[in-house]
């Protein structure tokens, strides 16, 4: 088990380090975070979307699948999806990619890390075992919606309950839609604001835009709702 942990740690480190070295050898941090960089690349991606949507979609899907498998969470990918593809097409590409990436991570963890996960998490989530045995897909959907657990950990916790791969994939596909749609909407809103402003938008421009503050309000309501359900789901 120790050898497996070392292997996975080195794998993650090599992948992330390679990406960071390559990326920052091309761009400086100041350049990447500048408004001109974002706007110019926005124009480039929109031209590419107009001329070759299929190619851009494939690149995004593959990149997101790999990102989810390595990093385990999808917020950056959701913002990018909304920014480049808009709300609905971006949501479709995101959900599809996240479902594949998370399922791949689950299968990998279920094969290589199942014993490690049980030793470290089974006692904490023992109450959920009975629920998953009674109605696996239903509680998987609730588990994805309620949240309360970091996304990378939530992706592999179902290993504790011997969840079927098909049910896991379906639960990811459906259960992450509400949160994903809100983040994709924010990404789409940012693109619209940048399109309207030649200079960098101010904080006031951002928070007064309906494309930004409406998803944030709904996200806050959803967050409060999940806190209530989380207490019932994890303690009963």
**Cα distance between residue 44 and residue 38, in whole Å:** 10
- Lowest-pLDDT choice from 95-104, 168-177, 201-210: 201-210
Backbone angles phi, psi at 55, to 5 degrees: -60, -45
Identify whether 11 is part of a domain.
Answer: no
CA atoms within 13 A on the CB side of 51: 6
> Quick check: is 119 in a domain?
yes
Tokens of 21: 């070295």
Instruction: Tell me the Ramachandran region of residue 197: left when phi exceeds 0, alpha when psi lies from -120 to 50, beta otherwise.
Output: beta
Greatest CA separation found in the chain?
57
Q: Does the structure show a pLDDT above 50 at 138?
A: yes
Nearest to 83 by CA among 32, 122, 46: 46
Q: Where are the alpha helices (DSSP H) in 33-149?
A: 35-51, 53-71, 75-85, 87-112, 114-121, 126-134, 136-146
- Contact assessment for residue 41 and residue 83, using Cβ atoms and an 8 Å cutoff: no
Token reading at 205: 């421009």
What is the pLDDT, as a whole number, of residue 177? 85
Q: Is the pLDDT of residue 70 over 50?
A: yes
Number of separate domains in the chain? 1
13 occurs within a structural domain: no
Q: Give pLDDT tens digits for 100-124.
A: 998 988 888 887 777 777 777 777 7
Percent of the chain with pLDDT over 90: 8
- Residues 171 and 143: beta-carbon distance below 8 Å: yes
9 in any annotated domain: no
Has residue 29 been placed in a domain? no
Cα 8 from chain centroid?
20
Give the pTM: 0.75
Average pLDDT, the chain: 76
Report the distance separating Cα 125 and Cα 132, nearest Å. Answer: 11
- Structural domain range at position 107: 34-235
**Region of poorest pLDDT, from 24-33, 72-81, 227-236:** 24-33
* Position 56 pLDDT exceeds 70: yes
What's the pLDDT score for residue 62?
92
Q: Could you read off the pLDDT of 178-209 as tens digits, one per residue? A: 888 888 888 888 778 777 765 666 666 666 77
């Amino acid at each position: 088990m120790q050898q497996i942990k070392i292997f996975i740690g080195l794998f993650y480190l090599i992948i992330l380090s390679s990406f960071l070295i390559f990326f920052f050898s091309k761009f400086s941090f100041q350049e990447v975070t500048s408004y001109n960089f974002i706007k110019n690349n926005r124009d480039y991606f929109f031209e590419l979307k107009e001329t070759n949507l299929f190619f851009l979609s494939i690149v995004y899907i593959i990149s997101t699948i790999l990102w989810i498998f390595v990093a385990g969470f999808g917020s950056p990918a959701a913002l990018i999806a909304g920014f480049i593809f808009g709300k609905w097409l971006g949501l479709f590409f995101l959900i599809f990619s996240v479902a594949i990436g998370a399922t791949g991570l689950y299968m990998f963890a279920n094969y290589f890390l199942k014993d490690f996960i049980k030793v470290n998490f089974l006692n904490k989530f023992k109450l959920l075992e009975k629920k998953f045995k009674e109605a696996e897909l239903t509680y998987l959907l609730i588990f994805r919606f309620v949240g309360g657990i970091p996304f990378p950990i939530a992706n592999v916790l179902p290993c504790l309950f011997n969840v079927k791969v098909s049910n896991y994939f379906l639960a990811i596909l459906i259960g992450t839609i509400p949160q994903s749609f809100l983040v994709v909407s924010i990404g789409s809103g940012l693109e619209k604001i940048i399109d309207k402003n030649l200079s960098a938008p101010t904080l006031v421009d951002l928070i007064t835009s309906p494309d930004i503050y409406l998803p944030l309000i709904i996200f806050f309501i959803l967050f409060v709702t999940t806190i209530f359900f989380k207490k019932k789901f994890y303690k009963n």
